[in-house]
Amino acid sequence: MNTGVAPKLSTLDVVQLEPSVPAQQAADDGDRSNTLADRVLQDVLDRIAGGEFEPGSVINEVDLARRLAVSRGPVREAMRRLEGRKLIARNPFTRARVVSLGHAEIREIFEMREGLEGMATRLACAHMSDESLCALIGAVESAGQTPSAFDLHRHIAENCGNGRIRDLLCDELYYLLRMYRRQSGDAPGRRAEASEEHWQIASAMNQRNGPLAESLMRAHIRRATEHLVAIEAASRS
């Protein structure tokens, strides 16, 4: 029978309907910590890509926290994520260091890169629009004349139409490859050579010649690998 009187909520009902203040505060603190860790993570990634953190260099966590005005917690979380992505190495009682690959490891990762980017280039020839391919030529020519943030390799991977290849080249492997690509580009005369090779790749893509574009990309990466291995050998001798 409906008496018109609203039923009373039990204490348990109130607890279920209204999250406790400490629980909500803990959730908010967790979200804030993750946001700060994301900020620290991106800062380190940018410095790795930009060449400030070179292979084998020490990452001072105290200085990093001070510079970004965060506590040690978000820095430790960012370091944990970087270690999971195999971009830094940490041993007990030692500071975090950017990874430094040996000759065999460099060859392995660049052989994998050659296969992935070669296929990405072939796929992009068929997947990109005529307008996008024409714009690609212009971007490559501009980058060859003046300093530019344009990254042909990433652009091709992002537009190849294969999500797995894109994720590998633009996320999982990107910063490790970028770090060593930068070293390869520092070889005397290599930047001018690479610029010409980029134009040849873009030109073949603009003609939608997938096999040629793939072959040119593979040859481009093989040359970069040889330069890099030579640089690494000289630095260790």
Q: Which domains, from first to last, does the chain contain? A: 27-98 (1.10.10.10), 103-236 (1.20.120.530)
> What pLDDT sits at residue 207?
96
Across residues 151-165, what is the average pLDDT?
A: 96
User: pTM (2 decimals)?
Assistant: 0.75
CA distance 15 to 101: 54
CB of 117 closer than 8 Å to CB of 157: yes
> What pLDDT sits at residue 9?
46
Q: What confidence tens digit (pLDDT) does each residue in 190-234 have?
A: 788 999 999 999 999 999 999 999 999 999 999 988 888 887 777
> What pLDDT sits at residue 198?
96
Residue 21 DSSP class: H
What are the CA-CA distances from residue 224 to residues 49, 68, 184, 185 (Å)?
17, 35, 6, 8
> What pLDDT sits at residue 121?
98
Across residues 36-63, what is the average pLDDT?
A: 91
Q: Which helix (H) or strand (E) holds 160?
A: none
Q: What confidence tens digit (pLDDT) does each residue in 118-155 have?
A: 999 999 999 999 999 999 999 999 987 776 778 999 99
Q: Beta strand pairing status for 96-98 and 58-59?
A: antiparallel
Mean pLDDT of the chain: 84
What are the CA-CA distances from residue 89 to residues 95, 98, 126, 192, 196 (Å)?
9, 6, 40, 34, 36
Confidence of residue 25 (pLDDT cuts 50, 70, 90): very low
